[in-house]
Chains A and B, each alone.
Chain A
Amino acid sequence: MSSLKSDISNYKELLSQYLESRDEAVLYQAEQFSKQTIQQNISPDEIVNEHYQALQELIPNMDETVKDSFQFLIETMISYGLAYQEHQVLREKQIELRSEIGVAANMQETLLKTQIPDYTTIDIGVKSVPAKEMNGDYHHFIRDTQGNLGVAVADVIGKGIPAAFCMSMIKFALESFSDNQIYPEWVLDSLNRVVFRNLEEGMFVTMFYGLYDIYTHQFYYSSAGHEPCFVYRSDSDEFEKIDAKGLLLGVENDVIYEQRQTTITKGDYIVLLTDGVTECRMGDRFLKQQEVLDVIKLYADLPSSDIAENVFKHFERLQDFDLRDDITIIVIKRNE
């Protein structure tokens, strides 16, 4: 406790300076002193005791009643000291927990990492931003043996760490499907059974799954209760809603997922979103889907990854923007 000792003599010094001069600058030093003692975990009763010792030296003939009152004050301060110690322990625990959540979030990122396949005919961009540390959105790309692109975007209802585990399950299920079976209706049907059997009650998944035929530029898609997605049509300069009927994953065992298809022509692009995008609040209102599409159009001439990035930044810059839910935006553009 040598540092405490040096502080004690310092305290006495400060106190005597103040009693002589009543100088405000010394009061400021007292404030600095208290910050130092907090850093060194010195409890309030120790400081009162210090004050008492210092006074005894500075005022040798102190009244006995005053002395006794200090004993009384020191006793009173002891429970403050204990509360303070408890506070310190909780703070340390909080730091520990936060770092564990950080580790979990990192693990999630590593586990769920998906490589964006590289094509010359199409250009793919993704932006996914969690509202909290753990992301409840998930997206995944698969390239089949013929080179076609499978793309999934999902939102797990029920957030945080359980959602992250659920997504790992979905990822490994998606990767286990053999290469010639990745038509959307089949993928969602199979995933639904996996999720129904394995997910704890109260957790559900919405997913939009698409298969982009790289040779014919047909886009096949199915939806498991997911927000509608969009295709920008270059000939009409308008967005077309693409949606298919299908229940959320994990609610019932036997579900038929409708599969639809559309032709992507040169200059068209596909926009896949999670509903977090439209659940953002701007002050006291919600963002409308049309506003998101309008912003996407603003950046449409950029490469896909820049479109996704810029759309998110655009909203982030706006005042009163409140990211309530995780956001994922995927853009797939046909180049040639």
Chain B
Amino acid sequence: MNLHIDDHQEGDVTVLKLSGEIDAYTAPQLKEKLLALVEENPTVHVDLARVSYMDSTGLGVFISALKTSKEKEHALKLINLQENVYRLFNITGLNDVIDIENTVRGELS
């Protein structure tokens, strides 16, 4: 399964829309794109509505992005997480250190 990555500007917010699966195969391309965005833009929202699966490699990418955004004093926020993806952030305790929008969605069919 592939990961489709698409970014656009909504006013002051840079939105990165992801769709597909985040795993060891797709994480490198996500990392490259996300780190560049976080480095250059003051506010980045990552829309995970269409991400049906993420493994621990994906967590690594978001932790790196969080680090970069902190250094730059930029804001990074994850939005529209599906339940199983949110679960991973919850278990690892990352929901306390990463800004995650509360509305958790059920799994898309």
Which residues on A are within 8 Å of B, measured CB to CB?
155, 157-159, 201-204, 206, 224-228, 245-248, 251-252, 255, 275, 279, 324-325
Assuming the A-B contacts A246-B93, A279-B55, are A251 and B60 also in contact, with contact meaning beta carbons closer than 8 angstroms in the complex?
Answer: no
Contact of A248 among B64, B67, B92 (CB under 8 A): B92
Contact of A204 among B24, B55, B59 (CB under 8 A): B59
Contact of A225 among B57, B60, B93 (CB under 8 A): B93
Closest to A206 in B: B92
A158 to B34, CA, bound (A): 18
Q: Count CB-based A-B contacts (< 8 Å).
A: 48
Q: 1/0 per residue B55-96: CB within 8 Å of A?
A: 111011001100100000000000000000000000111101
Q: Which of A224, A247, A248 has the most CB of B within 10 A?
A: A248
Q: SS class of chain A's interface: helix, strand, loop or mixed?
A: loop
Q: Tell whether, in the assembled complex, residue A252 and residue B97 are in contact, meaning their CB atoms are under 8 Å apart.
A: yes
Which residues on B are within 8 Å of A, measured CB to CB?
24, 55-57, 59-60, 63-64, 67, 91-94, 96-97
Of the A-B pairs whose beta carbons lie under 8 Å apart in the complex, a sample of 5, sorted by A's number, is A201-B67, A225-B92, A246-B93, A247-B96, A255-B93
A30 to B22, CA, bound (A): 51
Q: Tell whether, in the assembled complex, residue B92 and residue A247 are in contact, meaning their CB atoms are under 8 Å apart.
A: yes
Residues of B within 8 A of A224 (CB): 93
Top-10 shortest CB links A-B: A225-B92, A247-B93, A157-B56, A225-B93, A248-B92, A202-B60, A157-B60, A202-B64, A246-B93, A251-B63
